[in-house]
Amino acid sequence: MRKRYILEVIDGYLFLLPFIISVAVFLIGPLIYAFFLSFQNFSFLTPQKAQWVGLKNYLDLLHDPVFIKALSNTAIYAVGVVVIELILGLILALIANSNIRGKTFFRVAYYIPTVTSTVAVSVIFLYLFKADGLVNNILSRFGIQGPVWFNSVRFALPSIMMMAIWSSVGTYMVIYLAGLQDIPVELYEAAEVDGANEYQRFWSITLPLLRPVIFFNLVVSIIGALQVFDQAYVVSRGNGGPLNATMTVVLYIYNKAFSEFDMGYASAAAFILFIIIMALTIIQRMIFKDETN
């Protein structure tokens, strides 16, 4: 019996081996190495000069004004994008789930941006929001002098946020839609017979039963928002400008690592982001305890 059990276990791990190897080599390995690097003064150009610096990278980061700016930009971006995305996604899903005409068209229309490359989307937005682009052109017809959007310290980050919302709200809509269609029709009928009007049915049936889906969307969108990179990179041509207005944490890490080749410092920044995401996820899990099991 015992021998057979051991053989079975070996069989199982053999099947898992390709996955274990790839994860170990391309994910866990680099992760551990990055953690190790974060305590070193390490440059690609001069790896032989690497030296152990303890927590210096971390301490320096906390006093680095650009990193602090990147953190605050990312936080503003995350809060704005997550809140609007989740609410807008739900509204769109409710529309797409209702019995209006042409709902299939709406479902497709809202989802298309999601399957479009973010770089392509960013380039299109650059054109739309150019100083003499389509958006300002339309605004000028109403007598409004549009800003220079991506080149304005004030509007650059909100522009990126709009773009992000536009391009990813479809994903959340689709997930909400699946959640909405999972709610049995009889529950609405029972509530209707019980005397609930449409508004009451939304608050007492739809929303509570959608909680697991809302939780899922919240986690995914927060993690996504904190890792914002490509839109900021394309719009600012990699420098996080104007005046670091579009500098995000991941963009900062990228620049440190691959422009300045300061791998130790970049690794430390990456681990700070990791800790933030981890902490937020743990807090969410505690708040939505019921939904996670």
Partner 1 sequence: MADVVFKNISKIYTGGVKAVDDFNLEIKDKEFIVLVGPSGCGKSTTLRMVAGLEEISSGELYIDGRLVNDVPPKDRDIAMVFQNYALYPHMNVYENMAFGLKLRKTPKDEIDRRVKEAAKILEIEGLLNRKPKALSGGQRQRVALGRAIVRNPKVFLMDEPLSNLDAKLRVQMRTELAKLHDRLQTTFIYVTHDQTEAMTMGDRIVVMKDGVIQQVASPQEIYNKPSNIFVAGFIGSPEMNFIDGHITVKNGKYFINFKDINLALPEGIAKTINPDFINKDIVIGIRPEDIHDEEMFLETFPEYTFNAKVEVVELLGSETYLYLQYDGIPLTARVDPRSVARSGDMVKIGFDMNKIHIFDKETTKRVMD
Residues that bind partner 1 (CB under 8 A): 184, 186-187, 189-197, 200, 204-205, 208-209, 211
Between CA 163 and CA 165 the distance in angstroms is 5
Those residues with Cβ within 8 angstroms of residue 243's Cβ, 6 or more apart along the chain or in another chain? 153
Q: In angstroms, give the least distance from the CB of 204 to partner 1.
A: 7
Select 54 or 195, whichever has its Cβ closest to partner 1. Answer: 195
Between CA 38 and CA 55 the distance in angstroms is 8
Q: In angstroms, give the least distance from the CB of 183 to partner 1.
A: 10
Select 190 or 275, whichever has its Cβ closest to partner 1. Answer: 190
Select 200 or 259, whichever has its Cβ closest to partner 1. Answer: 200
90 token code pair: 């739900």
**Whether the Cβ atoms of residue 244 and residue 169 lie closer than 8 Å to each other:** no
Q: What is the DSSP string of 225-265?
A: HHT--HHHHHHTTTS--STTTT--HHHHHHHHHHTS-BHHH
Strand partners of residue 41: 51
Select 211 or 289, whichever has its Cβ closest to partner 1. Answer: 211
Q: In angstroms, give the least distance from the CB of 190 to partner 1.
A: 4
Q: In angstroms, give the least distance from the CB of 281 to partner 1.
A: 23
Select 154 or 211, whichever has its Cβ closest to partner 1. Answer: 211
Q: In angstroms, give the least distance from the CB of 201 to partner 1.
A: 10
